[in-house]
Structure 1
């Protein structure tokens, strides 16, 4: 935009300068020619009274003295009525003949212009005083004037470009600021505000953008409160369920159900916390520890359903840009899908691979029927087995919040589903 504005101003200014300077230059050329011809005419007119009053010898001497005078640059020639030529030698041409009839004229001649003054009323007849103005004298000072005009035009063009560049820079800075605010809003920073811009239209855009950010904050606040309230309502039936579990006669079964209810209560509490604090950022955890703990948690249920669970985890910590609770929820959603959508006895595998660039790859695979429609499986709320269809969406959002992504597919030879969660590396704290 900045370069295009400068180009537009340059083109417009150039056209205006050409429309102004070219006629002015031509006018200056005409003025210089008129000035030279006027000076030559006045010089010739000074000889008219001399021709009328001096004898031929004195007139000849006077013309010679005038020719030797350095202050008189114009050559003078006198054509008498009897054909005698005095002063600077010159040809008696048709223009001289025309002037001898009593007309003072100026005519074009090779290399310049001739100025012919008729001296009428003399005893011997009409005499003609001729002077010659060369092309160089006609254009005297014109080249210098063109240079001055050209320099003035260049200065005006440069000044207009500087002003256009400053105006363009101001507009570009305002647009870049609006772009930065819009990008920050898109990344979840709802506190981003557009500053007043020097351009009225851009200022209106900034005001609208600020109003939009405020509206988004209000809507998100309402949504968070709604989620928190809904989650809070779940606590009552959970409490009843916990009391019923503790009242079972089978102590081992009661302890197992109570433990599950407590875990569910913790999950509900976390939902309330997350809903009230809004978008999270900057969290990190050790993926190795989290994955190991969740695999052991699900291994007990896998043993009951005669499922073989294989896990491959690194021996060293694997830091990722996801909080421990979020990563646990992500893995629980993926493993829960395996248990919900594959027959009992279906084997599953969990693998965690550190990435060379930081972060990790979390792979969950099973030997079940796989995905019938991989594209539809990632659609939020879409499910063809009667579930809510949010398990994969939870995993996708967890991966994207860390700067990674989610890839789903079916096994190559053994069949089954294969899900890869790309987890980004946590940011290093600044020194």
Structure 2
């Protein structure tokens, strides 16, 4: 690309310079010849003025005034005879033409320029002054002018070459950076960013590439996070399914049909969980209709109440009246609440309470238990065993933020986590509400 830009710029400059320089060079040559002819005419006119009185009074002795350096003068009578000066013995064509029509004539003979000026007597030319000079001086001036023009043209082409190289680098470098960034993006490094170049068209491509890198990076990070955390979300329904089936096998008097029906229901919920995780990983959870929070909370009650009851604990769900509608997806809210309730089941004590309330620009859902989180306890949203909460809470926060929501630890005693999801037509600001 760089060579192509330089080549095109040089061709354009050469063509433009030639179209301007060639006519100018021809005009300069014509101008110098015309100037030299006019100078010869002036010399001949001056000589005619000096000798006119002597000619017409019969006192002319054949002497002519000395012309400028390199110029020779001669005078001819009406019959074409040389009366004085330096010239052919008889009139040449240019002198003959001047005597015939009483006007100035010019000619070029070999390496000389000629001019013939009439000395009139009435309406007719009685005499003619012939002036000649070598055209070497004219050609020297023409050649010097042409040399200067060639040098100036070469300078213009040199400057054009330098500017073309600079412009080629300016255009090619950001494109090369874009190519490198695209290659890095293709190698799965989504942190790459193309820098602005100051060229609007290239910067538009850079901006699009950067946005694409951000979108792909977010999508890959979400998929990796959710894929790595899928086992955590699947473990609870699988554990409930296994416990139900084991209890049916261990109790001869149990209702096997009821156990099978519960197992099928658990399997269906497990299937929904898998669908939710796949949708969250692919970023396809954006809802087209407002969230049906009441139905979702009823589903959470049906899922978690039996598991908590087996451990002698209770699940209580409360909702305020006239809650604002939310555009958050059911899959994201379902999986976030599942992580929070599971966390309360595993690490908390006493009753687990889920409370949905109006928080102005958002719907707030508090999930609390009767346990306490020590003040010196590690941030529960830190990934790893040090937090004591595994990978569920970091996953829940990522899911909430992917839907434009927020997840916070509201209280340590009793342990309360609050999920904020945006209300329809509202933007959820950063920070606790």
Which segments of 5 or more consecutive residues in structure 2 lack a partner in the other structure?
247-280, 282-433
CA distance in 2, matches of 1:12, 1:214: 42
124-133 or 7-16, larger mean C-alpha shift: 124-133
144-153 or 75-84, larger mean C-alpha shift: 75-84
Aligned partner of 1:60 in structure 2 is: 62
Deviation at 1:128, TM superposition (A): 0.8
- For residues 210 and 196 of structure 1, do their structure 2 counterparts lie closer, same or farther at Cα, with a shift above 3 Å needed? same
SS in 2 for 1:47: helix
SS in 2 for 1:188: coil
SS in 1 for 2:71: coil
Indicate whether 1:126 and 2:126 are aligned. yes
Which segments of 5 or more consecutive residues in structure 1 lack a partner in the other structure?
246-275, 277-431
8 Å CA contact retained: 2:21, 2:149:
yes
CA distance in 2, matches of 1:144, 1:234: 93
Aligned partner of 1:294 in structure 2 is: none
Q: Deviations over 1:319-353 (max 9, x none)?
A: xxxxxxxxxxxxxxxxxxxxxxxxxxxxxxxxxxx
What aligned pairs does 1:201-240 form with structure 2 within 5 A after superposition? 201-236=201-236, 237=238
Q: Deviations over 1:267-297 (max 9, x none)?
A: xxxxxxxxx9xxxxxxxxxxxxxxxxxxxxx
CA distance in 2, matches of 1:140, 1:80: 35
Tell me which stretches of 4 or more aligned residues in structure 1 moved more than 6 Å: 238-242
Q: Deviations over 1:349-407 (max 9, x none)?
A: xxxxxxxxxxxxxxxxxxxxxxxxxxxxxxxxxxxxxxxxxxxxxxxxxxxxxxxxxxx
SS in 2 for 1:119: strand
- For residues 193 and 11 of structure 1, do their structure 2 counterparts lie closer, same or farther at Cα, with a shift above 3 Å needed? same
Deviation at 1:182, TM superposition (A): 1.3
8 Å CA contact retained: 1:119, 1:128:
yes
Q: Deviations over 1:138-182 (max 9, x none)?
A: 324111111111111111111111111111111221112112211
Deviation at 1:125, TM superposition (A): 6.8
- For residues 84 and 208 of structure 1, do their structure 2 counterparts lie closer, same or farther at Cα, with a shift above 3 Å needed? closer
SS in 1 for 2:121: coil
36-45 or 169-178, larger mean C-alpha shift: 169-178
CA distance in 2, matches of 1:98, 1:164: 58
Indicate whether 1:185 and 2:179 are aligned. no
SS in 2 for 1:190: coil
46-55 or 213-222, larger mean C-alpha shift: 46-55
Deviation at 1:112, TM superposition (A): 3.3
Aligned partner of 1:7 in structure 2 is: 7
8 Å CA contact retained: 1:36, 1:137:
no
8 Å CA contact retained: 1:118, 1:129:
yes
SS in 1 for 2:193: coil
CA distance in 2, matches of 1:162, 1:11: 14
8 Å CA contact retained: 1:37, 1:138:
no
SS in 2 for 1:127: strand
What aligned pairs does 1:3-402 form with structure 2 within 5 A after superposition? 3-54=3-54, 59-63=61-65, 66=66, 71-81=68-78, 83-90=81-88, 91-101=90-100, 102-121=102-121, 126-236=126-236, 237=238
SS in 1 for 2:196: coil
8 Å CA contact retained: 1:51, 1:59:
no
- For residues 115 and 225 of structure 1, do their structure 2 counterparts lie closer, same or farther at Cα, with a shift above 3 Å needed? same
CA distance in 2, matches of 1:59, 1:181: 97
8 Å CA contact retained: 2:64, 2:84:
no
Deviation at 1:59, TM superposition (A): 4.5
TM-score (norm 2): 0.51
CA distance in 1, matches of 2:15, 2:125: 58
8 Å CA contact retained: 1:77, 1:130:
yes
8 Å CA contact retained: 2:75, 2:85:
yes
- For residues 103 and 3 of structure 1, do their structure 2 counterparts lie closer, same or farther at Cα, with a shift above 3 Å needed? same
Provide the alpha-carbon RMSD of the alignment.
Answer: 3.2
SS in 1 for 2:131: strand
CA distance in 1, matches of 2:159, 2:240: 78
CA distance in 2, matches of 1:120, 1:111: 29
8 Å CA contact retained: 1:40, 1:132:
yes
CA distance in 2, matches of 1:180, 1:194: 9
Deviation at 1:231, TM superposition (A): 2.0
8 Å CA contact retained: 2:37, 2:115:
yes
206-215 or 173-182, larger mean C-alpha shift: 173-182
Aligned residues: 243
Deviation at 1:184, TM superposition (A): 1.6
TM-score (norm 1): 0.51
Deviation at 1:74, TM superposition (A): 1.1
